[in-house]
């Protein structure tokens, strides 16, 4: 898949997730491989435009992390245009507009998926960003605000008319939050309506869900969010399936190694044990169920740890017990 002159190979993209897709997590995903594009955590356009240190830290990326996209959100066209210019000056390959985040914090300021209720404001924002930068510009959105306003096809067509070069669409509406009944028809309609690549997003967690989503939508690629926390190997798994290669096998020792290395890196990036432990628990909440039998036990053990040392010890104890059980069996 290509976005102008940028190859996204494979056409598998790590979704932007607040408090997850920081530099540390993106390094983890890249180390495992077969992710065609990484996207930073989303950042308020005003904070980036004004050069706030926290915003600059949020969107930092490695010199060899290409292609990489930076996602911004907000409601002021001029401010978002300046934020986009900052993204371009940083050396990012793509700037992305967040029209999909369902969080109260973002929507309260008419950013994220709230823009889907204000299509003319969304048009002015898209037009302003497109005029501000030379790098490719993309948009991520949900299917709509709610079931009475599933307007992603119309908004996607507008965005492309104003210069957007790729559209990512989550099958959920804002009202669905993180639930709802899986519907892929809106994504399929976006694919039919626009001449640029479309990424399908939402509950792509393994090979079967990936193949079903591609088959039912006709999308050019997939954007994967929470599925990548549960299984950072998901990109490699899907890529191998699409290329007709044998399934990737990930044993318990590799899962233990990756989780402990990630925990160790988290600790180096936080100034306090409390902050590090909070991030460790957030990741474990998704990652642990993916280890298979006993995953819920491991998840509970980490979530009830009182210190980072205790969390790491509980991970080691869990996998040691699994090894002993296999030997005994």
Instruction: Just list the catalytic residues.
Output: 101
Neighbour tally for 9: CB within 10 Å: 14
Which helix (H) or strand (E) segment holds residue 310: the answer is: helix 308-328
N-term to C-term CA, the chain = 47
Q: Where are the alpha helices (DSSP H) in 162-233?
A: 185-193, 207-217, 226-230
User: Six-digit token pair at 153?
Assistant: 């096809």
Buried b (16+ CB within 10 A) or exposed e, 205-241: bbbebbeebbebbebbbbbbbbbbbbbbbbbbbbbbb
For 34-76, where are the alpha helices, taking DSSP H only? Answer: 45-49, 53-58
Residues contacting 187, CB < 8 A, separation 6+:
143, 152, 169, 171, 198, 200, 213, 217, 219
User: Would you give the distance in Å from CA 289 to the centre of its chain?
Assistant: 19
User: Whose CA is closest to 156, among 184, 115, 128?
Assistant: 115
The two structure tokens encoding residue 124: 């002015």
271 in the Ramachandran plot: left (φ > 0), alpha (ψ -120 to 50) or beta? alpha
Closest CA to 226 of 4, 3, 19, 23: 19
212 CB-near residues (< 8 Å, 6+ apart) = none
Q: Residue 34: left (phi > 0), alpha (psi -120 to 50), or beta?
A: left
């Amino acid at each position: 898949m290509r976005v102008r002159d940028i190859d996204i190979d494979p056409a598998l993209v790590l979704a932007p997730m607040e408090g997850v897709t920081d530099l540390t997590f993106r390094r983890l995903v890249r180390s495992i491989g077969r992710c065609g594009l990484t996207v930073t955590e989303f950042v308020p356009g005003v904070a980036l435009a004004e050069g706030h240190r926290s915003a600059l830290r949020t969107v930092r990326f490695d010199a060899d992390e290409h292609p990489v996209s930076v996602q911004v959100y907000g409601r002021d066209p001029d401010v978002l245009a300046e934020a986009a210019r900052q993204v371009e000056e940083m050396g990012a390959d793509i700037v992305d507009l967040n029209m999909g985040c369902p969080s109260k914090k973002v929507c309260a300021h008419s950013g994220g998926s709230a823009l889907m209720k204000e299509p003319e404001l969304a048009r002015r924002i898209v037009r302003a960003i497109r005029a501000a930068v030379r790098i490719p510009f993309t948009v991520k959105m949900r299917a709509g605000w709610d079931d009475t306003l599933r307007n992603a096809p119309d908004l996607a067509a507008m965005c492309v008319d104003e210069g957007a070069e790729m559209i990512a669409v989550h099958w959920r509406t804002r009202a669905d939050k993180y639930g709802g009944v899986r519907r892929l028809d809106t994504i399929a309609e976006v694919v039919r309506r626009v001449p640029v690549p479309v990424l399908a997003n939402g509950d792509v967690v393994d090979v079967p869900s990936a193949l079903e989503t591609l088959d039912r939508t006709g999308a050019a690629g997939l954007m994967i969010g929470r599925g990548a926390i549960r299984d950072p190997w998901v990109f490699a798994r899907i890529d191998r399936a699409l290329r007709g290669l044998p399934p990737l096998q990930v044993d318990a020792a590799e899962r233990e190694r990756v989780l402990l290395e990630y925990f160790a890196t988290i600790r180096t990036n936080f100034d306090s044990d409390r902050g590090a432990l909070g991030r460790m628990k957030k990741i474990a909440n998704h990652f642990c169920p993916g280890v298979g039998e006993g995953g819920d036990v491991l998840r509970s053990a980490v979530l009830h740890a009182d210190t980072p040392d205790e969390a790491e010890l509980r991970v080691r104890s869990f996998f040691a017990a699994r090894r002993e059980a296999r030997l005994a069996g």
